[in-house]
Amino acid sequence: MRIIRHRDIGLPRPATVLAVRPDATGPLAKQSLARQPLARQRLAGLTPAGLAFIFIAVLTACQGTPAQPAAEGVASPTPGEMVAAAQPTATPSVAGADPSPVLTLTLWTTISFSPTQAITSGQVLAREIAAFESGHPRVRLDVVLKEPYGTGGLLDYVLKAGAVTPDLLPDLIVLDVDEMGQAVEAGRLQPLDGLLPADLVADLYPGAREATTFDGRLYGLQYQTDLDHLVYNTGQIALAPRSWPGVLSNPGPYLFPAGGKAGLANDAMLAQYLAVREQTGASKAGDPFLDLASVSTVLQFYSDALSRGIVPAMIATYHSTDDYWNEYVSGHAALVQASAHRYLSDYGRLSGSAVAAVPGMHGPAQPISRGWALALVTPDPARQAAAVELIVQLMRPEANAAWNRAAAYLPTRMAALADWQPDSSYGQFIDQQLQAARPRPVLANYTQVLASLQEAVVAVLSGSATPEQAAAKAITGQ
């Protein structure tokens, strides 16, 4: 494996190119805040000469080092005539060497899903890539590392490069599922319908399928997911509350993140609101997303829990479940909402703990899922054939289970659960949660709506407005 680092020449961020070879060995998440459409980004303000200079630099970063001829003596079959017909990587002419062309696929990804990771998940991915190249001796993979978000991130690069020169785009890309809609809208991703084995698609958990489906077409395969659930101390709480009345009748404290993310309401508030909205019948098609009665109901619960001392005022400073996790681990909180990733990361050192679904108004709230997906970028049918075979390799149940178990995330395939589960009781619970989980809603004005909702939460927790007043302001602001 060779690592090449490029200087930042007129581009937002440098890229790291990893040329992964069949004999490569060694080791092998920010939650996006919205699934909202975004105007296509442009490269502006540059002279023609400056643009040409940038394009050459980007092309160098994306292509990496030309692949060398594959090792001889591999008994596995080639990917097929379609792959062989693709634009080949130039190979040196060596007397007696196999003249068959070598196809180099390019994968854009981030460090958390790369074969360079020094943790076990990186080793799992490295094994899968090595197995793929061993079984496809005329296909090589270049792994290009980019930032996960923001300027110079995966989405930023794929939007800009595709707008200027599509030849710079990779064959495959890893994206946060909440950013896939923007890439689909910009025409950067290719639908996977008809390219994948039907049993693979059918085996995905419902939320994983929904997260990468746009206008009825599947544009990616989510390989990793996460969601929130309760964790409680069984020495202090015999049974976790299933609904808000149960929460309000417990002594507390009950900790959950109410501080939002970057000024937007986070999954804790969103899950509570969606539960009320569904149960009150306020979710009719065509209706505004924020309903006055539903928002008021959720805010009243926050107000009641605060006035009874069940939740502390400082929950308004908690932006994620990580912010107070140590409070639970140290025994200062008996009941908390935690991400499955956080719980699994500390699974080995937790004792006397149990899990339960997040309580909603009248029963468990539907979990909000999040995660990352593999998506197809190349429109070339021959390159698609090889890229899809790589996706299928990485999404095998054993591989999906092994990577997520090592990275402390949840699998996205139902067939992977048996190999993944840390124990039978938690595995059964997670299966139920994954069956019920859904991704964040797709809203044209997502940022505006979630910002209005978070302003209402802060107003109620600070005492500057009643639930009714805060809800009314949120409705006018959506």
Longest dimension (CA), the chain: 83
- Digit-coded pLDDT (tens) for 108-160: 999 999 997 666 899 999 999 999 999 999 999 999 999 999 999 999 999 99
Closest CA to 38 of 158, 171, 167: 158
Of 86 and 158, the one with more pLDDT: 158
H/E stretch holding 105 reads strand 103-109
Q: Do domains 2-225+370-435 and 238-366+445-477 have the same CATH topology?
A: yes
Segments making up each domain of the chain, as ranges: 2-225+370-435, 238-366+445-477
In this prediction, residue 120 carries a pLDDT of: 85
Lowest-confidence segment of 90-104, 163-177, 265-279, 383-397 by average pLDDT: 90-104
pLDDT at position 373 over 50: yes
**Per-residue DSSP letter, 102:** B
Give the residue-averaged pLDDT of 236-254: 93
Of 149 and 12, more confident: 149
| Per-residue pLDDT, 335 | 96
Q: How far apart are CA 202 and CA 265, in angstroms?
A: 32
Helix (H, G, I), strand (E, B) or coil at 376: strand
Q: Which of 392, 387, 340, 368 is nearest to 221 (CA)?
A: 392
Rounded distance between C-alpha atoms, residue 261 and residue 71, angstroms: 49
CATH architecture of 2-225+370-435: 3-Layer(aba) Sandwich (3.40)
Q: How far apart are alpha carbons 253 and 235 in whole angstroms?
A: 15
Which residues is 4 bridged to in the sheet? 17
Identify the DSSP state of 358: P
CATH topology of domain 238-366+445-477: D-Maltodextrin-Binding Protein; domain 2 (3.40.190)
DSSP state of 265: -
